[in-house]
Structure 1
Amino acid sequence: MTLNATIQSVTERIIKRSETPRSAYLARMAAATHKGPSRAHLSCSGQAHAYAGAGEDQDRLATENAGNLGIVTAYNDMLSAHQPFERYPALLREAARSVGGTAQVAGGVPAMCDGVTQGEAGMELSLFSRDVIAMATGVALSHNTFDAAVFLGVCDKIVPGLVIGAQAFGHLPAVFVPAGPMTSGISNDEKAKVRQQFAKGEVGRDALMKSEMAAYHGPGTCTFYGTANTNQMLMEFMGLHLPGSSFVTPNTELRDALTAEGARRALSLSALGNNYTPTCDILDEKAFVNGIVGLMATGGSTNLLIHLLAMARAGGIVLDWEDFADLSGVVPLLARVYPNGLADVNHFHAAGGLGYMIGELLNGGLLHPDTKTVAGEGLEHYTAEPFLSDDGLTWRAGTKVSLNDKIVRPLSEPFQANGGLSRLSGNLGTGVMKISAVAEEHRVVEAPVRVFHDQEEVKAAFKAGELTGDVIIVVRFQGPKANGMPELHSLTPIMQIMQGRGQKVALVTDGRMSGASGKVPSAIHVCPEALDGGPIAYLQDGDLLRVDAVSGDLNILTDGVLARTPVTADLSGNQAGVGRELFSSFRAAVGSADTGASVFGEF
């Protein structure tokens, strides 16, 4: 199938834009590769330190030229998605031994849960945790004793942080090993209804708690299609997962078999063998374009419009939100998974899942077919499904038809003709909107604004009965420099209530929204942020705005707004407590959302 002209032109544009930083990055990786297996350069004392705790693997590490696998883990048992990783090091060590290799836990990285910190001060550390994870990955691998690495992570900032860190060691092969989603509990739609009832005061906290515990009930990723599961999609589209491994549930035979194969596969790709495939060769411009296509086709999380920029820059690739917008124009929406529909990711996987979608997109010329992956040359590998047979783990051709057209559809009959995300720009700045769950009649809102400086002010105004007419709610001083850019997830229930009452309502913010947000049009990540004196800092109550996801307009309609003096805010309450005082240097150094909101600057 001929590659779509827009896919081709956007890719060429990215390659040209990235020529200088990408060349410098690849030169660094080539130099690291040229040094050869790292352990050979360590002193005897250094090697003895590295092997002292390796138990039965000590002699093999010291005397044989077998591959040594570094495990970087985000395990903790407070996150349901990461709790299964407790068992993985033992599985990975045994798998490495089965092929003559060894495996060691190189280090751990922090992993926080946005679901726990929503609406709390801890959420102001969430975005910054991505860059901490990247740095912790660098520390873990800095001992320079590994020939390949596996990365254990799932949730919102963890996978992007691990990818950034992995690219600093891009001369090593890397396989990302997921934990899988928890089994389905109560429906996400039912959970959302109870949240709205609680926001209205119709049910008490006991009913809310019962509902939440029925939804989040066991180990594994949350089953809605938020940032965590969008990460898993990306790792398949970009070739860092084993095919079909993203949505296999935890603590099953198939999950364990895929985990073990991840270790064997990573070692097989090292420079010690004949199939050397470093991470820097996998994560090229085409791979990132494939990831963006997957984001659009599945209606994935808006958080990836920040993370993908930062992930790409770590490998010398410069993405722009314009790339996302142009790709969205030609990539149809092929999936409806909550909040874009009623199904969860388990239903999506059963209906054909990522393998089916990749096959459809490849056949339609909407993906680069010739990328390198951990499964081999070509994305076609990712149309296959893993199975257990008498001979162990094997892959078979996946379904070529949707097994439930209410969840996944073919290119010939998409849910909508273009992607699930929209770029907005105008005299208010630049932002993005997830439109895959926004009904067409809600995609254009022109209304006066109410301006707030945090989400608690919005909730207080709602409870006081002040938000009754058509309104665009502006929440500013929520950008990365102001307070770490927390998600404003707790606004979702009340804004859905307002929309349900027949009000025209939208959100405009320089902060983030939940990766699972959807039904209310939300122009988020607005740049420049208020603390940088962006136009959003000039708005006053009653100013008229137009938020238009169809035309991509984000405009102030009231005359003279930008002639005013920009508003300032007292941010002293954001500077300390719950660890925030440790991140003052991050707030001072962080870049804008449209460059990835990273503290690293240009690599």
Structure 2
Amino acid sequence: MSKPLHDTLHRVTQRVIENSRASRSAYLDLVAREADNQGDRNAVSCSNLAHAYAGALEDQAALVAAKGPNIGIVTSYNDMLSAHQPYGRYPDRLKIYAREVGATAQVAGGTPAMCDGVTQGETGMELSLFSRDVIALSTAVALSHAMYDGALMLGICDKIVPGLLIGALRFGHLPVIFVPGGPMPTGVANKEKQRIRQLYAEGKVGRAELLASEMGSYHSPGTCTFYGTANSNQMMMELMGLHIPGSAFIQPGTQLRQALDRAAVHRVSQIGHKGDDWRPLGHCVDEKAIINAAVGLLATGGSTNHAIHIPAMARAAGVIFDWNDLSELSSAVPLIARVYPNGAGDVNHFHDAGGIGFVVGELLEAGLAHRDIMTVGTGDLSEYAREPGLDGNLQEGGALVWRDVGDSADLEMLRPVSKPFQPDGGMRLVTGNLGRACFKSSAVEESRWTIEAPCRVFEDQPSVAAAFKAGELDRDVIVVVRFQGPRANGMPELHKLTPPLGVLQDRGYRVALVTDGRMSGASGKVPAAIHCTPEALGGGPLSRLRDGDVIRLCAATGELSTTADLAAREPVPDPSDANGTGREIFGMFRRFADGAEQGGSAMLATAGL
């Protein structure tokens, strides 16, 4: 017997519903209007239809007859992202699957898809967060043609899934299913990869050894296997019911992956406006689905980037969700998974141990997730507490089936709610006279949850690296990296800081990071207050700090403060806008971006959402 809904989950959900009452109502009115206005392709002029059908040589007759739904494919394919490389062949396959059920499919459009792993520490990273807005805008362009009865979203990685979802939600009358590609096989052990990175940071191995280690980790098509933002995205799509159940971590090129892709096409063709089981995206993504995404993030120790993405995705559906909600949920949701960088095993080990199915089952049983959400499946969230498999060879008529997960196959990776790794979800809000920030305590030893030390202030990552190499940080220190917020430079991830700070910590020093920038889902063992808001640009508290000011960071009490008299100081001048790598043409996004807690979006801010 499942327990009743947990009191904290109920309280936060009711608060989110109340705070969202006006905006959610306005959004649902939009969904209803769009369903009425764009519900029938036959109402579109013949000239428009002819333009849309001209290139679909194999499906022209079916499109003209309009006997079945036409599915729009929005793809973020490129072959520079290992995770998205498999999507190159997807459109042709998806069109075949559509024909099997009397439907048609067309590539509605493509979106850019940059890789934070490639741009780490480079100037291109300053475009990363705003690429989410660009992806959302590209998705809206793709779906603007009033030709589609449903849509499939091909995207996996960091900003791509949030961007696709934000854009698709503005067409919330359509049924939408997200189609993942799956993770690459496991490569070099994560602890070994981390060891080589730190040796390189200390100058004990060279570039050739580092590159060999990295190539052994990231070695083939598929999602990177650590539990960063990309794989956290896949978990959240499951908890929101937007995947075919259990799709997230099935590897590319397998028969099971093919069967799940096929099921996605068949299912989206069944849940459109003209059928008797209409499941529009705008109704699937409601307050309870957003809460489920946050709960899944906390239970699995997912990426801190989603402290920015969840509020942004919620806003696109008329839902107001902030860091108070996330922190309060964290107090009640136990950490039941340890996936690298929070543990030794990667997402393949996580899946083999029971994976998403185990997590969903445990959360539902404990009253820590909303069962009664509208999913793209045939029922509610309980369908996602099982794991997919094949009954026989697919080429010989084998069928897709779902099985009970059972107990965890590895208690070092996955534990029941009754015996968690930590009693809370480890995503804590820290506040004080330095602003509001997020602290991922699930990745940090409890003995390091409180750090009080003089600070050293920097304004970019290379300056930190230079100070480290010069031995200037060999002491107890809180490193402050400011002017890294959305309006300053697009809020890049500062993952290049992890190895040197990790080395200092291993040398016995008590160190921490405070920044208005981001750290990725791969951020690890060093305590960090990230996404600090208000950001330094424009006179935020961080702009008034000076070297030597004592800062106290405490995840246990939720404190982020300094003993310095900030009000008595003038802020340092804002840096000038940087040019190059296309950053100058993103000036509009920086100028109009809102704060990290609201999602750091210029598009949503200027749209009044």
- Residue type of the alignment partner of 2:598: T
Determine if the alignment matches structure 1 residue 180 to structure 2 residue 186: no
- Contact 2:389–2:403 (CA under 8 A) maintained in structure 1: no
SS in 1 for 2:151: strand
- Contact 2:67–2:102 (CA under 8 A) maintained in structure 1: no
Hey, what's the Cα distance between the residues in 1 that align with 2:401 and 2:288? 25
Task: Report the CA distance between 1:89 and its aligned residue.
Answer: 0.6
Structure 2 residue aligned with 1:566, among 558, 567, 571? 571
**Unpaired runs of at least 5, structure 1:** none
Hey, what's the Cα distance between the residues in 2 that align with 1:229 and 1:315? 22
Hey, what's the Cα distance between the residues in 2 that align with 1:17 and 1:65? 43
| Alignment correspondent of 2:449 | 443
Determine if the alignment matches structure 1 residue 597 to structure 2 residue 600: yes
| Alignment correspondent of 2:475 | 469
Structure 1 residue aligned with 2:587, among 584, 598, 602? 584
Deviations 1:556-603, CA, capped at 9 Å, x for gaps: 123x2321011114334x2x1111111011111111101000112132
| Alignment correspondent of 2:520 | 514
- Contact 1:91–1:256 (CA under 8 A) maintained in structure 2: no
- Contact 1:462–1:494 (CA under 8 A) maintained in structure 2: yes
Deviations 1:359-405, CA, capped at 9 Å, x for gaps: 01100000011111011331100011111124534333332211000
SS in 2 for 1:50: helix
- Residue type of the alignment partner of 1:566: P
- Contact 1:590–1:598 (CA under 8 A) maintained in structure 2: yes
Q: TM-score, normalised by structure 2?
A: 0.97
- Contact 1:76–1:82 (CA under 8 A) maintained in structure 2: yes
Determine if the alignment matches structure 1 residue 478 to structure 2 residue 479: no
| Alignment correspondent of 1:292 | 294
Task: Report the CA distance between 1:38 and its aligned residue.
Answer: 3.8
- Contact 1:384–1:395 (CA under 8 A) maintained in structure 2: no
Matches within 5 A, 1:206-245: 206-245=208-247
Matches within 5 A, 1:350-365: 350-365=352-367
- Contact 1:258–1:393 (CA under 8 A) maintained in structure 2: no
- Contact 1:306–1:594 (CA under 8 A) maintained in structure 2: yes
- Residue type of the alignment partner of 2:479: I
| Alignment correspondent of 1:489 | 495
SS in 1 for 2:158: coil
RMSD: 0.9
Deviations 1:25-58, CA, capped at 9 Å, x for gaps: 1001001112353412211010000000111210
Hey, what's the Cα distance between the residues in 1 that align with 2:173 and 2:455? 51
- Contact 2:185–2:251 (CA under 8 A) maintained in structure 1: yes
SS in 2 for 1:433: strand
Hey, what's the Cα distance between the residues in 1 that align with 2:88 and 2:315? 31
| Alignment correspondent of 2:105 | 103
Structure 2 residue aligned with 1:430, among 436, 440, 443? 436
Hey, what's the Cα distance between the residues in 2 that align with 1:145 and 1:90? 19
Q: TM-score, normalised by structure 1?
A: 0.98
| Alignment correspondent of 2:541 | 535
SS in 2 for 1:30: helix
- Contact 1:383–1:397 (CA under 8 A) maintained in structure 2: no
| Alignment correspondent of 1:91 | 93
Structure 2 residue aligned with 1:52, among 47, 51, 54? 54
SS in 2 for 1:373: coil
Hey, what's the Cα distance between the residues in 1 that align with 2:116 and 2:413? 26
Task: Report the CA distance between 1:260 and its aligned residue.
Answer: 1.2
Task: Report the CA distance between 1:271 and its aligned residue.
Answer: 1.2
Deviations 1:521-553, CA, capped at 9 Å, x for gaps: 110000000003111111000101100011111
Task: Report the CA distance between 1:163 and its aligned residue.
Answer: 0.4
Hey, what's the Cα distance between the residues in 1 that align with 2:402 and 2:24? 36
Instruction: Compare 308-317 and 32-41 and name the one that shifted more.
Output: 32-41
- Contact 2:260–2:400 (CA under 8 A) maintained in structure 1: no
SS in 2 for 1:268: coil
Matches within 5 A, 1:64-143: 64-143=66-145
Task: Report the CA distance between 1:188 and its aligned residue.
Answer: 1.4
- Contact 1:435–1:518 (CA under 8 A) maintained in structure 2: no
Instruction: Compare 69-78 and 259-268 and name the one that shifted more.
Output: 259-268
- State the aligned residue count: 600
Deviations 1:402-441, CA, capped at 9 Å, x for gaps: 1000000001110000002111111110000111110011
Deviations 1:441-495, CA, capped at 9 Å, x for gaps: 1111000000000011111000111001100000000000000000001000000
SS in 2 for 1:532: coil
